[in-house]
Amino acid sequence: MNSSYCPMPFVHIYSGSDGRYDMCCHSNISGKEYKTLRKQSVNDTLPFDHFLSEAMEQIRSNMLEGKEIESCQTCYANEKIAGRSKRVDYIKDFGLVYKPNKITLKLRIFGNYCNLSCYMCHPFNSSTRTNELISLGEELDPNWRFEDNMRFTKVSYEEVEKDILNNIHLVDQIQITGGEPLQSVRMYEFLEKIPEEYAKSIHVGMTTNLTKTKWKNKSLDQIIKKFPHFGMKVSCDHYGDKLKYIRYPIDVDEFENNIFEFRNYLKISPCLSVLNVDDIDDIINYYQEEFKVETFFETGAIVNSPFHLTPANHKNYKILADKYKDNKRFSHLYTYLIGDKWLRNREEQRKKMFEYLEKLTPTRGDWKKLWNDI
């Protein structure tokens, strides 16, 4: 394997909430490949046409020749510091693929409706989050560093769906995210259209807040029954009152009932931020002891925008860095805690963090009653 290779351009079709394509959700926004690919969107290019486009073929060719990919610099940097990155994870998951192969789809095409307003969520991924930030006067805050950060692009869904179903024989995995997918009738209807002969072999993975497992006349049970290879990453960043604050306005009792009912199909997947980075052990132990559920820490699931909510802004970031320095499971967290990018203007960012938490007090309550040492 050469030092620039990643299987994602060979096996993965990805689009973001703005409908534009990219290699994956971890691509560096300053890379030339990012800027080239993002000129294509689901509104003008069908998924499989994008996958076989000249731009994607050039990326694959460059990787096979050992040329560094500018948009992959985040992974390269993490590997130099900690020996781990999403690129390394993907190689373990997919192996070495040298020509376009069975495809993994990760297309944000089902809308951004979500019933939660997680305090660190990118606003275009949640309608409730968007409304909250607008009410707080945060919609123009440059710290939410996305060009169209308050808008979800409505995609040309019917043509995209038709293209996927026409090529369903090429699909190995479907990764579904939102918004909140279990509250999207369109998502249920899409899965219903996949022929049974392919549903038996396709791996369906879903990222969900698991607050509602029945929606209108649809249910999670229907999906599990149709797709034998089904699993969920449940977005969950704490437990009890801290969970309620972070993922406001979650009904914790209802959520935990759903965790218990579907525990055989899921892993807990926290997003690490300044409010839970010091509680990792507690989170792991809680869900293991109460529900016998594994907690999965994804390499890329660390808040990096806005900067003032990153783990590196925690008061004890040096102690935490020492704690995780030699822990392979959290090597990705270590790179964030010591990275110069996150430590620049740290005191200014901490000030913004406290100002932002104060803005949330009227709806979520006083954060200082839950966290007194951040």
Query: CA end-to-end span of the chain, whole Å?
Result: 42
Lowest-confidence range among 18-27, 226-235, 250-259?
18-27
CA gap 150, 66 in Å, rounded: 38
229: amino acid identity, one letter:
H
Digit-coded pLDDT (tens) for 73-109 = 888 888 887 777 889 889 988 888 888 889 999 998 8
Predicted TM-score (pTM) above 0.85: yes
Q: What is the mean pLDDT of residues 175-183?
A: 94
Residue bearing tokens 């509680």: 279
Distance CA 90, CA 96 (A): 10
1-50 tens-digit pLDDT = 568 899 999 999 999 877 889 999 888 888 898 889 888 888 889 999 99
pLDDT in tens, 292-349: 999 988 867 899 878 899 999 999 999 999 999 988 888 889 888 988 777 778 899 9
CA distances from 9 to 52, 287, 370 (A): 10, 35, 43
At 306 the pLDDT is 80
Beta-sheet pairing, 171-176 with 203-208: parallel
